[in-house]
Chains A and B, each alone.
Chain A
Amino acid sequence: MTNPIANLQRVSADYKTMDKKDKKRFWTDMILNNALYILMAIFIIYTAIEQPNFLTLGSFANLITQVAAYLPLALGIAGCIVLTGTDLSAGRVVGLTAAIAGVFMQKTDFANKMFANLPAINGWWIAATLLAVIAIGAVIGLVNGFFVAKFSLHPFIVTLSTQLITYGIILWFFALNGNNGQPISGLSAEYKNFVGGAMFRLGGVAVPRYVLYAVILTALMWFIWNKTTFGKNMFAVGSNAEAAKVSGVNVFLTTMLVHTLAGAMYGYAGFIEGVRAGSVAASTGLNAECDAIAACVIGGVSFVGGTGKISGIILGVFVLRIIFVALTMLGVDSSSLYIIKGAIILCACALDMRKYLVKK
């Protein structure tokens, strides 16, 4: 991976020395290992032919906006996958933090305001809300991490239960103050501008501020993963927890921190979700973790544990979004998209295992 050109030269030199059978295997390996990318390329070409406005700057702006919205979740969950776990509570945590941020950020003069006596919305109040929702996400992540690390419970079980508990809390929250489960709307202009205000326009489509925030978060995560002791410990625990323990890594603390960090990312994702959707309902964030997990697996954050790169996660989110943007533009309805999503996850896992086996 160090030098792509040298790599390509080496591969082509190898290819020349192969006999017929090996050549055939080389091509099947190549096609199968890149199956999802080939599929994406086919969809792009087909959509570009059918829908001329697919390959425009505006549609590209739409794509990076979507990627920026889905990236924080994937960055958070990737840490859990590196530890050979996962996090099923992500979507509901986004729902809860979106609801809380939404309530704090309702217009002061909005008729159906849930809590009437909140301070006027200014920069400090927005910053405080952002920190509060990140903290709430982090606390839920901490609970996940504690049970996973302390009792070696499988993350699937722990996060499934926190998912349900969080949903219960969401439903409680929506019933507060006689709100009776109504969606939270009437978000203030300051909040909308802080998250979704246009930075610049590409082909007539505004690129919102959260694209910039996503870039900052990605840089931060890259630093944490690659340049800190915590990041190195995370990969050590993921590839072999026993060996990491023997060599002096605090497995308990590392696991807790990974989940807490993931939770903080969901908190941030919740903060932007309300603006993105325009209002927050009890169903906000439903199944968001599926997209994030799929993106990670496509991007090579393996369930084998201890492997993964930030660049891979970005690539994974891009691939998934391109496929879905293309399919929506073609007019494939959302019920079929779920089946396609399921097939993509299964396919990505099979690819993940295949790469591991072939390498061995």
Chain B
Amino acid sequence: MEENRQNPNPEQEQLPKFRGLYRHVKISVKALDRIIVACIAVIVILVALELRDPGFTITFDSRGGSDVAPQNQMYGELLEQPEPPTREGYTFTGWYTDAACYELWDTQNKTIETDMTLYAGWEKLE
């Protein structure tokens, strides 16, 4: 329906016509300028807000053991060796990056790159 009502001569239209993916877009340069400025403003404000409290949060999921306090570290830093959690009838085997406890997090060498959760590995006592 929209197509039929369109002006047959596109040159007389107020707004320029796009090709391709934008072919149904009707927008002026002024509106685009506002969008660009708004996007940049959002990015800058967000970064500014984040920089008031920089760093990445590492949370510890002790999976049934005693609670371990989350840490806040900057990029490229090592994890502060957390107090090992305790659990009745189990021995603690280390912190893992996945809940299935396959990938051990090397607290001595691996540096922090993003927010993450580490999972406690448990071995059942005989």
Q: How far is the CB of A67 from chain B (nearest CB, A)?
A: 17
- Please, how many angstroms separate the alpha-carbon atoms of A73 and B115 in the complex? 25
Contact of A331 with B by CB under 8 A: yes
Say which size band chain A's interface belongs to: 35 or more
Cβ-defined contact, B114 with A334, below 8 A = yes
Cβ-defined contact, A357 with B51, below 8 A = no
Cβ-defined contact, A350 with B21, below 8 A = no
Contact of A347 with B by CB under 8 A: yes
Interface pick from A163-171, A284-292, A338-346? A338-346
Residues of A within 8 A of B94 (CB): none
Contact of A304 with B by CB under 8 A: yes
Cβ-defined contact, A185 with B18, below 8 A = no
Residues of B within 8 A of A302 (CB): 20
Contact of B54 with A by CB under 8 A: yes
Residues of A within 8 A of B35 (CB): 346-347, 350
Q: How far is the CB of A223 from chain B (nearest CB, A)?
A: 25
Within 8 A of B (CB), among A293-333: 302-306, 327-333
Cβ-defined contact, A304 with B36, below 8 A = no
User: A304-B19, A331-B55 are known contacts. Are A183 and B100 too (CB-CB below 8 A)?
Assistant: yes
Residues of B within 8 A of A89 (CB): none
Residues of B within 8 A of A356 (CB): 18, 22
Q: How far is the CB of B111 from chain A (nearest CB, A)?
A: 11
Cβ-defined contact, A84 with B36, below 8 A = no
Cβ-defined contact, A353 with B25, below 8 A = yes
* Contact flags A78-91 to B (C-beta < 8 A → 1, else 0): 00000011100000
User: A278-B103, A333-B115, A360-B16 are known contacts. Are A53 and B22 too (CB-CB below 8 A)?
Assistant: no
Residues of A within 8 A of B25 (CB): 353
Q: In the complex, what residue of chain B is closest to A186 when comparing beta carbons?
A: B102
Q: In the complex, what residue of chain B is closest to A348 when comparing beta carbons?
A: B39
Q: In the complex, what residue of chain A is closest to B57 when comparing beta carbons?
A: A333
Count of chain A to chain B residue pairs whose CB atoms are closer than 8 Å in the complex: 123
Residues of A within 8 A of B92 (CB): none
User: A305-B21, A332-B51 are known contacts. Are A350 and B39 too (CB-CB below 8 A)?
Assistant: yes
Residues of A within 8 A of B28 (CB): 357
Cβ-defined contact, B115 with A351, below 8 A = no
Within 8 A of A (CB), among B34-70: 35-37, 39-40, 42-44, 46-47, 49-51, 54-57
Cβ-defined contact, A332 with B54, below 8 A = yes
* Contact flags B87-99 to A (C-beta < 8 A → 1, else 0): 0000000000010
Cβ-defined contact, A340 with B114, below 8 A = no
Cβ-defined contact, A279 with B46, below 8 A = no
User: A328-B75, A350-B35 are known contacts. Are A182 and B102 too (CB-CB below 8 A)?
Assistant: yes
Residues of B within 8 A of A336 (CB): 46-47, 49-50
Q: How far is the CB of B49 from chain A (nearest CB, A)?
A: 8
Contact of A245 with B by CB under 8 A: no
Residues of A within 8 A of B39 (CB): 343-344, 346-347, 350
Cβ-defined contact, B43 with A340, below 8 A = yes
Cβ-defined contact, A39 with B102, below 8 A = no
User: A279-B102, A328-B75 are known contacts. Are A339 and B54 too (CB-CB below 8 A)?
Assistant: no
Residues of B within 8 A of A350 (CB): 32, 35-36, 39
10 A-B pairs, CB-CB below 8 angstroms? A183-B98, A183-B100, A330-B50, A331-B55, A331-B74, A340-B47, A343-B46, A344-B43, A347-B36, A353-B27
Beyond A332-B46, A354-B36, 13 additional pairs, beta carbon < 8 A: A183-B98, A279-B102, A279-B103, A303-B20, A305-B19, A329-B75, A331-B51, A333-B56, A336-B49, A339-B46, A340-B43, A343-B43, A357-B29
- The 10 lowest CB-CB distance pairs between A and B, nearest first, are A331-B54, A305-B20, A347-B39, A84-B20, A303-B21, A332-B50, A350-B35, A304-B20, A331-B55, A343-B39
Binding site for B on A (CB under 8 A): 28, 32, 35, 39, 43, 51, 53, 84-86, 112, 182-183, 185, 238-240, 278-279, 281, 302-306, 327-336, 339-340, 343-344, 346-347, 350-351, 353-354, 356-358, 360
